[in-house]
Amino acid sequence: MNFVFDIGNVLISYKPLPYLEGLFPEKSVAEKVYKTIFRSPEWEYLDQGVLTYKQASEIFCAREPDYEAAICLAIENVYDIFVPIAETVELLPVIKDAGHNLYYLSNIHVEIRDYFLNKHQFFKLFNGGVFSCDVHLMKPSPEIFRCFLDTCHLAPEDCVFFDDIEENVAAARNEGINGVLFTGAQCVKRVLLNTTC
pLDDT in tens, 166-187: 999 999 999 999 999 999 999 9
Average pLDDT over the chain, rounded to an integer: 95
Question: Does residue 142 surpass a pLDDT of 60?
Answer: yes
pTM (2 decimals)?
A: 0.93
pLDDT in tens, 10-68: 999 999 999 999 999 999 999 999 999 999 999 999 999 999 989 999 999 999 999 99
User: In angstroms, rounded to a whole number, what is the distance separating the alpha carbons of residues 195 and 197?
Assistant: 6
CATH class of 2-13+82-196: alpha beta
Where in the chain does DSSP place strands (E)? 2-5, 12-14, 82-84, 101-106, 128-131, 159-163, 178-181
Band (197; pLDDT cuts 50, 70, 90): very low
The C-alpha angle 84, 138, 152, rounded to 5 degrees, equals 75
- Specify whether the CB–CB gap between 129 and 105 falls below 8 A: yes
- Specify whether the CB–CB gap between 13 and 84 falls below 8 A: yes
Q: Where are the domains of the chain?
A: 2-13+82-196, 15-81
User: In angstroms, rounded to a whole number, what is the distance separating the alpha carbons of residues 118 and 156?
Assistant: 29
